[in-house]
Amino acid sequence: MSRRQTPETALGLAIGAYNGPKELAAELHATRFEDRPDAGARWIAHCLDPDRREKFSLRDLTKIFKLAHDAGSHEGFAMFARLCGYSAEPIIATDAVIVELQERSVALTHEVAELQRDIQAIGELSPATLALMQHAHVKVGE
């Protein structure tokens, strides 16, 4: 059985991984739907109907796919990516740690380069300037 691949179908798959449309609506817009779960479920249904005016915001879409990811459901986002001409693979926790470490490594590399520039600049100071800095108790040497 082949399901029609549409953005709404992809979103429906992601939404299906959550606890249901009532809970999802409250998760997305607590102040609006926390006390009105049926209205929240209708809003979700309307957002998935291509003929209705109500649509999810970009923040809502991101949250829906993230919640599906956290629930271990990746099919909806993979379908959405395919519809856009991409393939998508979930980032699992170890991959996320690797990405974070790579980002920190890049940041530290930039910091080291900045420190090396500072050291070089100090080395290029004239002897008179160095003497003045030492007299002012600025540590410039060993």
Give residue limits of the domains in the chain. Answer: 7-83, 93-135
What's the whole-number average pLDDT of the chain?
87
Structure tokens at 16: 């299906």
Q: Sort 141 into a burial class: Cβ within 10 Å, 0-12 / 13-18 / 19+.
A: exposed
The upper half-sphere exposure of residue 104, i.e. CA atoms within 13 Å in the direction of its Cβ, equals 6
**Residue 28: predicted pLDDT:** 94
- pLDDT of 138 above 60: yes
Query: Is residue 101 within 8 Å of 109, Cβ to Cβ?
Result: no
**Does the predicted model carry a pTM greater than 0.75?**
no
Tell me, what's the pLDDT at 142? 58
Kindly report the backbone phi and psi dihedral angles of residue 36, in degrees, each rounded to the nearest multiple of 5, phi listed first: -135, 65
